[in-house]
Amino acid sequence: MSSQLNVDTIVDKAGSGGTNVKVGTSSTYVSEGGNVTQNLVQAVAKHFVTYQSDGGTAVLNSQSLNNSSLTDNATGDTIFTLTNNMSQTRYAIPDSGGDNNGGFSTFTVDANMTTSVYRYFTGDSNFGGQDSDFHSCCAIGDLA
């Protein structure tokens, strides 16, 4: 027999309004259509940054998660160091960003990925190093 809990608000035991909900690593959610279930924990970004490097030096903007530092290696070449390690050396790095100069490319090189660091390149349409006005990237996978 299955159970269902229907509530409008979840608050802490003291009733102060704060909520601390812990979700197990095997927790799933049901898709909007109700036909598919997915692992909730795996679907959450484990790292993200917003930064800009237009003008020569990569600088973090105010938004980041699980990022201890960034290193500006060269034009369009940035290394991100995670606060908490990923469980494997291969994880997803989706990205977004660019600038007003037209064609733009972004990529990571898997040889530069470890559980705590990844190297991220931004460039022109010919893959030449180019800094960007705004950029964001994240890591999706399992934490160690």
Are the CB atoms for 130 and 107 separated by under 8 Å? no
Place of tokens 């990571």: 108
Identify any residues that bridge with 78 across adjacent strands, giving them in sequence order: 72, 120
**Model confidence over 15-45: pLDDT tens digits?**
777 667 777 888 888 888 888 888 888 778 9
Strands 59-65 and 47-52: antiparallel
Per DSSP, 107 falls in state E
Are the CB atoms for 43 and 36 separated by under 8 Å? no
**Model confidence over 86-127: pLDDT tens digits?**
999 989 888 766 656 655 677 777 778 999 999 988 887 777
